[in-house]
């Protein structure tokens, strides 16, 4: 309970520390604005024009449904790869043979360009939800798999012996010895994969589906509407930034606390 | 002035330490300047015919007259303390004071005398300060205070721009440099002030540290905005950079959130300085991006607000400690600081009211409140600054007497 209260008391300080990130982002917006002044609105609409356009899209009710469809696909693909990647990676990490065996296969998967998977997926699944979901899954899988594999491979054998010597119950061994270590490898992999899924899904939608942010981007490109394109991009990046700083980063800090506490 | 009279004048307690004449000059000039400016706006006094017009006069005297006096007073006291060099001797201090006064007279008369005498005297003053501080700051091992020297040099460069190029453009640059100087000076003072307070209160486990990366981000952001405003005033790029400066200043306050001790006056007043500064840059940024005519209101948040309050806080702290008194614990300090803040907010309000087409009454109220704060300061500090020390120590030394209530008093 106290822990929870301390955690909640830390929220304002955490939110306030976001000002540092905002300072950098504002400098980036300045650079963007400068670029748009050099190349003109047709090539690169400025941040203000983009945000106004985004506001218009939201007001017109066009933004949220597309974003929801995209988010659903990204998260489905991500959840699948999270489950498969974590379980298979951990299993492979338990055995030296399995990890040696799986390495080259993972290298092949990582080396395969997502756009190639997309082409295959289009041939296999046609246009529809399955294509972007599969592309996201197959692109995220190796990242999570490698994270889980390394987490399992680097488990401290001495700690295991200590736990054994003290006859720690299995449940405690798992939750206090193995879990923190494995999670500290898994979690960064999950975050990297989530960012990846968000990018891949837009790319897949651009070529494969009639709806979603990617499709909206394709439409605005066809209309040579750079402002609308930038608005969609800003929406996607904005959502990613929000998720990253409001949800994932706090959890990451929490999970990695034990490292600094050592 | 004869040599004898000069020596007798220099022997006055006012010239015991560098801050004394300049802190006095700052407060006296604050009241005089705003009284004159209000009278000019009301039509009771003719507008000064200086090059660049009345607004340039107003800004120049507040920045290079008033703020420069307080900067001189601060550095003349702080540099010897930071670097361990000797304090400025009385005759030089009197010379500096007279040069500052001559600079004021020359600028007021620059409409008829031309800009050259004013430029020569005012630049000579800044150059003299630089020549006094450069050797000890440079010789100091590791040169931890070099940034103060750079800021003063930048202030001098902008000053040359005011006289020989477009006055208002360069006065805006000077305002930016002053903001950087305030952040640099405040971070040095606040470390000692806040940790001193925490020690006195017997607080353990709470620790205040002005972290250099955050400070560097803030000064970098302010510098970037200042440069952008010089190169492209009113451009959206400048607006975004103003917002970046706001965010970087708010980011600085991460160091300050130390729980309820934040409400201690010696913590809270510097804290408010940063708030005003951040809000000022925020308003400037919003005004540029949205096209509101509120840039001047934002500038007044920076100068009437943040700068005045920073000067006030430094003067009530250093002005007593280095005169041999312990920190003032009376109520007038929060009162005067509150007057400065309220006057600033009323000044901003008057910009909004002018924008929507209402009268200038608020301008007068704001000026009166601001002047009242400095009158209060003068009332309390005249004897401290012009009188002899209450102890046997000399020069700028910290109080040699035992504090009356030893537990609650501390030096900065």
Nearest to A19 among B235, B238, B250 (CB): B250
Pair of tokens at residue B260: 């309820």
What's the first-to-final CA gap in chain A, in angstroms? 23
Please report which confidence band the pLDDT of residue A257 belongs to, taking 50, 70 and 90 as the band edges: low
Say which residue, A188 or A25, is predicted with more confidence.
Answer: A25
Residues B189 and B408 sit within 8 Å (Cβ to Cβ):
no
Q: ipTM of this model?
A: 0.90
> B287 at the A interface (CB within 8 A)?
no
CATH architecture of A46-261: Orthogonal Bundle (1.10)
Please report which confidence band the pLDDT of residue B46 belongs to, taking 50, 70 and 90 as the band edges: confident
Most distant pair of Cα atoms in chain A: their distance: 70
Overall domain count for chain B: 1
Lowest model confidence (mean pLDDT) among B41-50, B114-123, B356-365? B356-365
Residues A88 and A220 sit within 8 Å (Cβ to Cβ):
no
> A23 at the B interface (CB within 8 A)?
yes
pLDDT per residue as tens digits for the range B262-295 = 888 888 999 999 999 999 999 999 999 999 989 9
State how far the Cα of A81 lies from the Cα of A139, in Å rounded to an integer: 9
**CATH number of domain containing B255:** 1.20.210.10
Instruction: Tell whether B82 is covered by a domain.
Output: yes
Residues B108 and B145 sit within 8 Å (Cβ to Cβ):
no
pLDDT higher than threshold 60 for residue B405:
no
Which residues from chain B sit within 8 angstroms of residue A47, using beta carbons? 236, 240
Residues B244 and B175 sit within 8 Å (Cβ to Cβ):
no
Interface contact flag, B254 A20, Cβ < 8 Å:
yes
pLDDT at residue B137, rounded to an integer: 93
Domain limits for position B220: 21-386
Q: Which SS3 state, helix, strand or coil, does residue A98 take?
A: helix
The residue among B147, B141, B297, B125 whose CA lies nearest residue B216 is B147
pLDDT at residue B359, rounded to an integer: 59
Q: What is the 8-class DSSP label of residue A243?
A: I
Cα-Cα-Cα-Cα torsion A210, A216, A221, A224, nearest 10 degrees, comes to 120
- How many CB atoms sit inside 10 A of residue A254's CB? 12
Long-range CB contacts (< 8 A, 24+ apart) of A68-73? A69/A211, A69/A212, A69/A213, A70/A201, A70/A202, A70/A205, A70/A212, A70/A213, A70/A214, A70/A236, A71/A239, A73/A129, A73/A132, A73/A133, A73/A136, A73/A201, A73/A204, A73/A205, A73/A212
Cβ contacts of B8 within 8 Å, gap of 6 or more = none
Instruction: Tell whether B410 is covered by a domain.
Output: no
> A124 at the B interface (CB within 8 A)?
no
List, as ranges, residues 242-281 from B with C-beta within 8 Å of A.
243-248, 250-251, 253-254, 257
State how far the Cα of B93 lies from the Cα of B282, in Å rounded to an integer: 39
Mutation site, A10, A16, A20, A23, interface B, largest B CB count within 10 A: A23
State how far the Cα of A132 lies from the Cα of B345, in Å rounded to an integer: 54
Residue by residue, DSSP assigns A33-59 as: HHHHHHH-TTTS--HHHHHHHHHHHHH
pLDDT higher than threshold 80 for residue B240:
yes
pLDDT higher than threshold 50 for residue A149:
yes
Q: Look at phi and psi of residue B354 and say left if phi exceeds 0, alpha if psi is from -120 to 50, else beta.
A: alpha
Residues B151 and B139 sit within 8 Å (Cβ to Cβ):
no
Please report which confidence band the pLDDT of residue A256 belongs to, taking 50, 70 and 90 as the band edges: low
Kindly state the average pLDDT of the residues B125-149.
93
Please report which confidence band the pLDDT of residue B361 belongs to, taking 50, 70 and 90 as the band edges: confident
Interface contact flag, B236 A33, Cβ < 8 Å:
yes
pLDDT per residue as tens digits for the range A49-107 = 999 999 998 898 888 899 999 999 999 999 999 999 999 999 998 888 888 898 898 88
Ordered by start, the domain boundaries in chain A are 46-261
Residues B208 and B266 sit within 8 Å (Cβ to Cβ):
no
pLDDT above 90 coverage of chain B, percent? 66
Instruction: Tell whether B303 is covered by a domain.
Output: yes
Q: How far apart, in Å, are the Cα atoms of A231 and each of A55, A69, A148? A: 9, 17, 36
Nearest to B251 among A20, A27, A48 (CB): A20
Instruction: Tell whether B1 is covered by a domain.
Output: no
The residue among B107, B128, B98 whose CA lies nearest residue B65 is B107
Say which residue, B205 or B26, is predicted with more confidence.
Answer: B26
């Amino acid at each position: 309970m106290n822990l929870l209260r301390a955690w909640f008391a830390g929220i304002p300080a955490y939110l306030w520390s976001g000002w540092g990130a905002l300072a950098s982002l504002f400098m980036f917006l300045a650079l963007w604005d400068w670029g748009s002044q050099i190349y003109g609105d047709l090539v690169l609409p400025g941040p203000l024009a983009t945000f106004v356009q985004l506001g218009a899209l939201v007001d017109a009710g066009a933004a949220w449904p597309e974003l929801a469809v995209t988010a659903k696909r990204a998260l489905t693909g991500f959840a699948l790869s999270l489950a498969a990647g974590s379980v298979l990676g951990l299993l492979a990490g338990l055995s030296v043979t399995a990890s040696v065996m799986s390495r080259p296969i993972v290298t092949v998967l990582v080396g395969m360009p997502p756009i190639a998977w997309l082409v295959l997926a289009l041939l296999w699944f046609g246009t529809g939800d399955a294509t972007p979901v599969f592309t996201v899954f197959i692109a995220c899988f190796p990242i999570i798999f490698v994270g889980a594999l390394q987490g399992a491979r680097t488990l401290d054998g001495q700690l295991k012996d200590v736990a054994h010597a003290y006859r720690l119950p299995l449940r405690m061994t798992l939750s206090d010895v193995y879990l923190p270590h494995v999670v500290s490898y898994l979690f960064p992999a999950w975050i990297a994969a989530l960012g990846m899924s968000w990018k891949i899904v837009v790319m897949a939608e651009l070529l494969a589906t009639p709806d979603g942010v990617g499709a909206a981007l394709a439409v605005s490109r066809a209309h040579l509407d750079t402002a609308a394109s930038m608005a969609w991009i800003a929406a996607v990046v904005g959502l990613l930034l929000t998720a990253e700083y409001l949800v994932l980063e706090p959890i990451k800090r929490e999970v990695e606390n034990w490292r600094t506490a050592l | 002035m004869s040599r004898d009279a000069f020596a007798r004048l220099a022997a006055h307690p006012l010239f015991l330490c560098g801050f004394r004449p300049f802190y006095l000059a700052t407060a006296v000039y604050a009241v005089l300047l705003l009284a004159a400016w209000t009278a000019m706006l009301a039509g009771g006094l003719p507008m000064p015919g200086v090059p660049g017009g009345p607004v340039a006069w107003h800004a120049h005297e507040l920045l290079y007259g008033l703020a420069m006096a307080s900067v001189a007073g601060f550095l003349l006291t702080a540099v010897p303390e930071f670097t361990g060099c000797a304090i400025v001797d009385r005759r030089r201090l009197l010379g500096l004071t007279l040069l500052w006064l001559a600079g004021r007279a020359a600028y007021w008369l620059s409409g008829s005398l031309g800009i050259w005498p004013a430029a020569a005297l005012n630049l000579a003053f800044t150059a003299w300060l630089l020549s006094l501080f450069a050797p000890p700051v440079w010789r100091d091992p590791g040169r931890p205070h070099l940034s103060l020297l750079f800021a003063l040099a930048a202030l001098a460069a902008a000053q040359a721009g005011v006289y020989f190029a477009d006055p208002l453009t360069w006065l805006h640059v000077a305002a930016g440099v002053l903001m950087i100087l305030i952040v640099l000076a405040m971070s040095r003072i606040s470390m000692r002030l806040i940790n001193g307070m925490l020690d006195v209160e017997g607080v353990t486990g709470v620790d205040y540290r002005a972290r250099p990366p955050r400070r560097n981000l803030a000064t970098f952001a302010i510098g970037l905005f200042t440069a952008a405003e010089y190169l492209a005033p009113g451009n959206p790029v400048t607006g975004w950079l103003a917002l970046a400066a706001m965010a970087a200043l708010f980011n600085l306050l991460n160091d300050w959130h130390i729980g309820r001790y934040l409400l201690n006056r010696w913590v809270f007043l510097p804290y408010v300085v940063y708030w005003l500064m951040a809000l000022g840059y925020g308003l400037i940024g919003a005004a540029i991006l949205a096209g509101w005519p509120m840039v001047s209101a934002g500038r007044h948040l920076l100068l009437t607000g943040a700068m005045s309050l920073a000067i006030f806080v430094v003067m009530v702290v250093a002005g007593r400690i280095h005169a041999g008194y312990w920190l003032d614990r009376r109520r007038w300090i929060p009162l005067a600081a509150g007057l400065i803040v309220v006057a600033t907010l009323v000044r901003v309000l008057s910009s909004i009211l002018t924008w929507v087409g209402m009268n200038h009454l608020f301008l007068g109220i704001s000026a009166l409140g601001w002047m009242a704060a400095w009158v209060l300061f003068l009332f309390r500090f005249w004897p401290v600054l012009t009188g002899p020390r209450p102890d046997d120590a000399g020069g700028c030394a910290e109080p040699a007497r035992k504090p009356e209530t030893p537990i609650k008093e501390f030096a900065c």
